Structure 1
Amino acid sequence: MILGDYQSLEIARDTNQGLYLTDGVYEVLLPRRQCPPHAHIGEPIRVFVLTDSEDRPIATTKVPYGKVGDFAALKVVTVADSGAFLDWGLDKDLFCPFKEQIVPMKEGQRYVVRIYIDQASERIVCTSKIHKFLRPTGEDLKPGQPVKVMIAGFTPNAATVIVNNEIKASIFNDEIYENLRVGDVRDGFVKSIRPQDQKVAISLRPVGYQSVLGEREKLLAALKKNGGFLPLSDRSTPEEIHRALGLSKGAFKKLIGALYKEGIIQIETHVIRLKG
């Protein structure tokens, strides 16, 4: 039986307390209030296994915000002398010992944590010292590759993110086009991998020409709405371009270059215009 994970267990017996489920070797109780109606002996049930307040294994059909081995953004519900308790979607809150807090946790605040099993107590706990679980390099990634990212924190120049639940990376400020919060999960793309140290930069938009094509209709619509021209060019500042179109200057230059080659726009010193 796997603690801290989902598994399909067979109904072994029905009691007043609930259904006892088995993996063929061990049994675990699924409390009566969570038992499905019309369940029969021998049928499989998909459950999550954790421990109760007396450290006994117990099953639940509820879905937690993360399982053992996952990173999750959780809110602190209580701070006690021994540590903090975080809401992870189950009746029993998840414990984070003080020694596993990178900064003292505060009630009501959200933190990105790693869920794991403490080997000494054999309990499911969490830690906000997540960097020890993350690889600092992405040598197995490729530029343009789609990835899943979680926002783990912010520096003055970038958002620190967790890529595919295992790699530390950055989304630099010129790639951020929306308000991001710690714990937000987004689809992203590998923008670059630095040759000297294999550190990864992420974009929230497809990288390269395909990204430019995705913004094509937005620019054409802006041109039409403004009477066929925009007071922008490759001489405009990044701030002017982002304010008008929500694009980085690099993406804007690629886009107007593509439209110019297609004969759709003309580029002047300080203006772009629709042809015809």
Structure 2
Amino acid sequence: MEYLEAGTVVNLRVDREARAENAEEAFGYFLTNEEDESVLLHKTEIHGEVEIGGEVDVFLYQDKSGRLAATMTIPEIQIGKYAWAPVVEIRHDLGAFVDIGISKDILVSLDDLPLIENLWPEPGDRLYISLKTDSRGRLFGKLATEDVMGGIANKALFTMNNKDIKGTVYRLLKVGSFIITEEGYRGFIHESERKREPRLGQMVDGRVIEVKEDGSLNISLLPRKQEKMDEDAEVIWEYLMSRNGAMPFSDKSRPEDIQAKFGLSKASFKRALGKLMKEQKVYQEDGWTYSSDRK
């Protein structure tokens, strides 16, 4: 027996036209199940031919007025069926609205989102969800659990070590973030391996720092040592140029002064400064650093 429940696909009989009083044209059809429960299939939700007395497969959802409605557009995301859904709107009083491929966006309730709002997804991010209904039958998006993500994850080979990856954040914990990569590998980003905590649903770029025995990955969002040195050298160079090629800092400067001005440890500062000197871009004299064109 096909019960009428939002979030499911059912096969229903086309019972009669839906027509406003004195209207010449029908605005859809009423569909019924064996219990004579009926639901409206609006003409804008019809694909192909529909005949009275025939049967159609439809997806059930609530329309913008909260009434149960039917569409012949069958989304991949249903109750018990998961897929990725792009975030299209954020309402701070409600949560995140996602597009599952039908005419009405679906709400992922704020109750299921991180407590810290700046970790909520943004439009353009994506969430791996199925659907659920509350006690009043209202349809909501349901975030995938760790068990669900584990069920779809692929096992990474040890050759993935040190590879660059892209992945979507699907779970946030105090100690770190979980992602699923474009290849379908499950990864963990420890809080020490990032500059800031990524959002739920955010796509991040990282690198593999360990392939674990179970085929999951440990990921770092921090640059490699050479990349970090390049970034630090660029920061120092830009500051030097902003002062017309002379700055009162050198490898003899105090660590606290370097940290306050550049946000770098003294070791990182010296490595980056050494790189600029090796490239013959700068020289040091009497505790100052100068661009080479000032010689």
What secondary structure is seen at the aligned counterpart in 2 of 1:219? helix
> Corresponding residue for 1:262?
279
Q: Distance in 2 between matches of 1:242 and 1:229?
A: 15
Aligned residues: 220
The CA deviation at 1:143 is 1.6
Alignment of 1:47-126 (within 5 A): 51-53=60-62, 56-59=70-73, 68-70=82-84, 87-89=97-99, 91=104, 93-94=106-107, 105=112, 110=120, 114-116=128-130, 126=142
2:205 to 154, 166, 188: 188
266-275 vs 159-168, which moves further: 266-275
Q: Deviations over 1:209-249 (max 9, x none)?
A: 34544554432111222452353649865x86665345677
Q: Distance in 1 between matches of 2:257 and 2:203?
A: 26
What secondary structure is seen at the aligned counterpart in 2 of 1:231? coil
Q: Percent identity?
A: 12
> Corresponding residue for 1:169?
188
- The residue type equivalent to 2:97 in the other structure is D
The CA deviation at 1:133 is 0.8
Q: What's the TM-score, normalizing by structure 1?
A: 0.51
Q: What's the TM-score, normalizing by structure 2?
A: 0.48
> Corresponding residue for 2:174?
155
Tell which structure's C-alpha radius of gyration is larger: 2
Q: Deviations over 1:232-276 (max 9, x none)?
A: 649865x86665345677765553332222122346897655343
Q: Does the CA-based 8 Å contact 2:246-2:291 persist in structure 1? A: yes
Q: Distance in 2 between matches of 1:195 and 1:245?
A: 36
- The residue type equivalent to 1:127 in the other structure is L
Q: Distance in 2 between matches of 1:244 and 1:259?
A: 18
> Corresponding residue for 2:164?
145
The CA deviation at 1:190 is 0.3
> Corresponding residue for 2:261?
244
1:228 to 246, 263, 286: 246
Q: Distance in 2 between matches of 1:233 and 1:151?
A: 43
In structure 1, runs of 5+ residues without a counterpart are 5-14, 19-28, 42-48, 62-66, 80-84, 97-102
Q: Does the CA-based 8 Å contact 1:31-1:59 persist in structure 2? A: no
The CA deviation at 1:146 is 3.8
**Closer, same or farther: CA 195–86 of 1 in aligned 2, 3 Å:** closer
Q: Does the CA-based 8 Å contact 2:156-2:211 persist in structure 1? A: no
**Closer, same or farther: CA 78–255 of 1 in aligned 2, 3 Å:** closer
Q: Distance in 1 between matches of 2:271 and 2:237?
A: 14
Q: Does the CA-based 8 Å contact 1:147-1:189 persist in structure 2? A: yes
Q: Deviations over 1:65-112 (max 9, x none)?
A: xx9422777968999xxxxx963246263578xxxxxx9648997589
Q: Does the CA-based 8 Å contact 2:45-2:70 persist in structure 1? A: no
Q: Does the CA-based 8 Å contact 1:94-1:126 persist in structure 2? A: no
- The residue type equivalent to 1:133 in the other structure is M
> Corresponding residue for 2:236?
219
Q: Distance in 2 between matches of 1:196 and 1:271?
A: 51
> Corresponding residue for 1:200?
218
**Closer, same or farther: CA 255–95 of 1 in aligned 2, 3 Å:** closer
**Closer, same or farther: CA 149–245 of 1 in aligned 2, 3 Å:** farther
- The residue type equivalent to 1:93 in the other structure is I
In structure 2, runs of 5+ residues without a counterpart are 1-6, 9-24, 29-39, 50-57, 63-67, 76-80, 133-138
Structure 2 residue 146 is the aligned partner of structure 1 residue 127? no
**Closer, same or farther: CA 107–173 of 1 in aligned 2, 3 Å:** closer
**Closer, same or farther: CA 127–186 of 1 in aligned 2, 3 Å:** closer
